[in-house]
Amino acid sequence: MTRLLGWLAGALLLLVLAAGGLLLAALDSKPLVERSETISQAAVNQARWLFHTNDPRRLQSGEARRTAVPAALIDEGINALASRSLHGRGALVLGEETAEIRLTRRVPLLPGEHYFNFRATLREGKGEPKIFAAALGQLPIPPQLLEFLLATAVQGAGYDAEWTLARQAIRELIFDPQRQRIVVAYVWEPALLDRARSIAFKPDDLVRIRSAQESLAALFDHHAPGRPVPLASVLRTVLDIDGTDQHENRRAALLVLGVYLAEKNIASLIPEARNWPQLRPVTLMLAGRNDSAQHFVVSATLAAWAGEPVADAIGVYKEMADSRHGSGFSFADLAADRAGTRFGELLSRRDARLDALLEKELTDGDLIPVINDLPESISATNFQRQFGNTSSPAYRQLTAEIERRLDAVPLYKPE
C-alpha cells in the first residue's frame, strides 16, 4: 500500500511538473502585439468601399466573385475583436504565401509581466482556409487540434451552420504582401446574409427591437409631423425601462432610434420590419440643433452595439468626408459624436450613473456640454491650412478641449 501511494504521489508530481512546464512554455514575458484599441479613418473608408463593391443585395445566387481585401482592414478588425472580446490585442501579418494571425493577452494575477501570445498561420491556396501552423508562446499546437477546438467552440456557440457556410463559400485565398492585400475568390450564397442577420439579431433581440419600434412610433404619434422635439425627453422615455432584460431592451431602443436618426429604414437590417409600425417624421433637437441629435444618437448606438473605437472612427471619418464634399468639418459635430459615444459606452457597461440620471427629467446639459462656440464649416483646404491632419498639435488641442468639456458633465466625469 505504501509503495502504491508513493507511486501515485510520484505520478501526480510528474503530472504537476509537466503541466507547469507546459504553462511556462505557453507564457511569454513580452507581448507579441503592442498597439492601441483604435480604428483608423482609412479602415472605415476601406470597409465602405468593400461593401459597395460586394453589396450582397446586388449579388446573384451562385455568382463567383473575386475581391481584394486590404490587409490593414483585416488587421484592424482582428485587433478590434481581440480588444473587445478577449481584452487583449490582435494583428495580421502577411508573408510570402502565408498570413499569420497574432493575439496577445496579459495574464492577470501572476506577479510580474506575463502574456499569452498566440500565433496561427494560414497558407494561401484553393479551397477552404486551413490552419498550417499554430503556437501558444513556445508551445506548438497541432493544426488539426486547433481546427477541432475551433470547430467545437463554434458549434458550442450555436454558429456551426454559419461557420460551415462561410468557409465553403471561400474558394481561394491569395496573400499579396507587396500590395498588402488578400485576394479572396468566393461564391455568393444568399443564405450567408440571412445567417449573418441571425448572428447579429437573435429571436429575443427581434422581439425587443419590434417592441422598441412600436413604443417609439406611439411616442412620435403624439407630435405633429416635423415638430421640434427635445431628444432628452425622448431618450428618457424610451430608456427608462425596468425588468430583468433592462439592458438589452435599452440597446434595442437605442438601435431603433439610431437607425431612425441615420435616416435609414430598419427593414434594411431586419426584413420583417417592413410590416412594423412606421415612425412619424419629427425633428429631434439637442443643444438647439437637429444635427447634434443625429450625431449623438448614431454614435451612441454604434458604441453600444459595436464599441467605442468603431463609433469614434466613423465620427471622424464622416467629418473629414464633409470637409471635402459636404457642409465642412465641424468640431461641434465631433463633440456631439464623442458625447454620444460616451453615453453608449455607459449603457454598454450598465453604468449606475445612467440609471440615476434616468430617474429624473433630462436636460440637454445632462447629455452634452456647450458646443456652439466650436469651429465649424471648415473646408478641406482650410482644414489642411489650419490643422494639417488629425495628428497635429492644433487638432489635438481642440479635441482635448472637447474631452475636457465632456469630463465636466457629471454623467461623463471620470471615476
Residues 41 and 152 in one domain: yes
Looking at residues 216-233, what average pLDDT do you find? 88
Residues 177 and 220 in one domain: no
Tell me how far apart the alpha carbons of residues 312 and 38 are, in angstroms, rounded to a whole number. 8
pLDDT tens-digit readout, 127-177? 878 888 988 888 888 988 888 888 888 777 777 777 777 788 888 899 999
- Of 169, 198, 227, the domain-final residue: 198
Q: Map residue 39 onto helix, strand or coil.
A: coil
Residues 153 and 259 in one domain: no
In a domain, 153, yes or no: yes
Residues 381 and 250 in one domain: yes
Tell me how far apart the alpha carbons of residues 340 and 9 are, in angstroms, rounded to a whole number. 60
Residues 282 and 320 in one domain: yes
Residues 180 and 215 in one domain: no
Looking at residues 359-374, what average pLDDT do you find? 91
Statement: the pTM of the whole predicted model exceeds 0.75: no
Instruction: List the domain range (segments joined by +) for residue 168.
Output: 28-198
pLDDT tens-digit readout, 266-307? 887 788 888 899 888 899 999 999 989 998 998 888 888 776
Question: How do strand 181-187 and strand 98-106 relate by DSSP bridges?
Answer: unpaired
Tell me how far apart the alpha carbons of residues 124 and 128 are, in angstroms, rounded to a whole number. 10
- Sign of the alpha-carbon dihedral angle for 219, 225, 227, 228: positive
> What pLDDT does 283 receive?
92
Can you list the positions of beta strands (E) in 255-404?
283-285
Overall domain count for the chain: 2
Residues 207 and 267 in one domain: yes
In a domain, 10, yes or no: no
CA distances (Å), origin 8, targets 13, 17, 19 = 8, 14, 16
Residues 34 and 59 in one domain: yes
CB 307 within 8 A of CB 84: yes
Chain centroid offset of residue 236 CA: 25
Residues 296 and 391 in one domain: yes
Residues 222 and 338 in one domain: yes
In a domain, 9, yes or no: no
Looking at residues 188-198, what average pLDDT do you find? 72
In a domain, 3, yes or no: no
- Of 198, 220, 246, the domain-final residue: 198
- Of 198, 233, 250, the domain-final residue: 198
Residues 277 and 316 in one domain: yes
Residues 185 and 225 in one domain: no
> What pLDDT does 247 receive?
86
